[in-house]
Amino acid sequence: MNKLNIDRLKYLSASMQDVIRDLDEIISIYDNQSTIIKKHLEQSFRTSFLQYKELLGNYMSQCLKVISVSVSKITYSDAIELCIKENLLPNHEIILYKTLSKFRNDTAHVYKKPPFIVLLQFYKENRDFLNSIIEKINNVIKENRNDI
């Protein structure tokens, strides 16, 4: 079995934490801004949301390599289920992971851009879920330090 790249996981965890901080900051200042600034904050929020999902995908890819599963040979849903089964992701409803992925895909394809209010609501309702993923990554790092 391959070993996890702990330095890479630390980077991913720190980057995901930065994204959460950025999203929180946008929320905290959004209401007091002019229309033009709100427009830029909304785009920044979408971009940060996309970045979080990309970082999650990178983490899952690292984990799947360790359990010798080719990322290109399985679906996103199967990858999530495998990572949950291997205790590499928190055991949440798979719909949360799929919704996060859908928002990422819709945001990446500008013509399908989801309304800001929808992303904002999802984030507010599921912030704990997003943080639990970071906590799980940090736990995986702690559990695998001895393997270095």
Instruction: List, for residues 87-108, the tens digit of each pLDDT value.
Output: 999 987 777 877 877 776 666 6
Q: To 10 degrees, the CA torsion angle through 143, 78, 132, 125?
A: 180
- How far apart CA 141 and CA 13 sit, in angstroms, is 9
Residue range(s) defining the domain that contains residue 44: 6-147
Structure tokens at 76: 């996103």
Rg, Å, the chain Cα set: 16
In a domain, 80, yes or no: yes
Would you tell me the crossing angle of helices 35-66 and 94-108 to the nearest 10 degrees? Answer: 120
In a domain, 67, yes or no: yes
CA angle 108, 118, 50 (to 5 degrees): 25
Residue 111's pLDDT is 62
How do residues 25-46 score in pLDDT, each as one tens digit?
999 999 999 999 999 999 999 8
Tell me which amino acid residue 101 is.
S
Residue 72's pLDDT is 82
pLDDT band at 148 (very low <50, low <70, confident <90, very high): very low
How do residues 53-78 score in pLDDT, each as one tens digit?
899 999 999 999 988 888 788 888 88
In a domain, 17, yes or no: yes
Residue 3's pLDDT is 84
In a domain, 1, yes or no: no
User: Looking at the 3D structure of the chain, how many domains does it have?
Assistant: 1
CATH number at residue 57: 1.20.120.330
Structure tokens at 138: 């940090």
In a domain, 118, yes or no: yes
